Amino acid sequence: MEVPSVDESRVLCNFDGSLDSVSTVAHELGHAYHNEWQVGKTVLQTQTPMTLAETASIFCETIVSDALLANASGRDERLAVLEISLISSTQVIVDITSRFMFEKEVFERREKSELSADEFCEIIIQSQKNT
């Protein structure tokens, strides 16, 4: 999370020592790194689309995965690293696609009427199923 008043980022996440947690910390540190490059920029220069916002974080995950693969002690360890990497990549693709579908549907319906909380839930569930 960006803390503009002190020009720094804070990362708050659960960590249980698992490979998945290591990947998550790397991902979040990538966001913090991205925030560092935005210090001193105008509001318009700091508004980024999700594709750009995720670039530094996925890059950090990739650095960690590459290091883990290079230092893996055997086949099972390499497979575990690759599994986490594939799950993460798949999640990003599905998540971004479903969010796009969700937002598109919300804007289309919103032109016609207000939406209830139940309708928002219905739209996100359907978007995730479609993805």
Please spell the DSSP secondary structure of 72-87, one letter per residue: --SHHHHHHHHHHHHH
Alpha carbon distance 130, 59 (integer Å): 28
What pLDDT score does 126 carry?
Answer: 96
- Distance (Å) of CA 87 to CA 23, 63, 65, 108, 131: 11, 16, 12, 31, 15
Binned at pLDDT 50, 70 and 90, residue 90 comes out as confident
What pLDDT score does 111 carry?
Answer: 95
pLDDT in tens, 96-127: 889 999 999 999 999 999 999 999 999 999 99
The full set of domain ranges for the chain reads 1-71, 85-131
pLDDT at 6 over 80: no
| Angle, alpha carbons 50-55-59 (nearest 5°) | 150
pLDDT in tens, 28-74: 999 888 888 888 888 888 888 877 888 888 899 999 999 999 999 99
Binned at pLDDT 50, 70 and 90, residue 11 comes out as confident
What pLDDT score does 109 carry?
Answer: 97
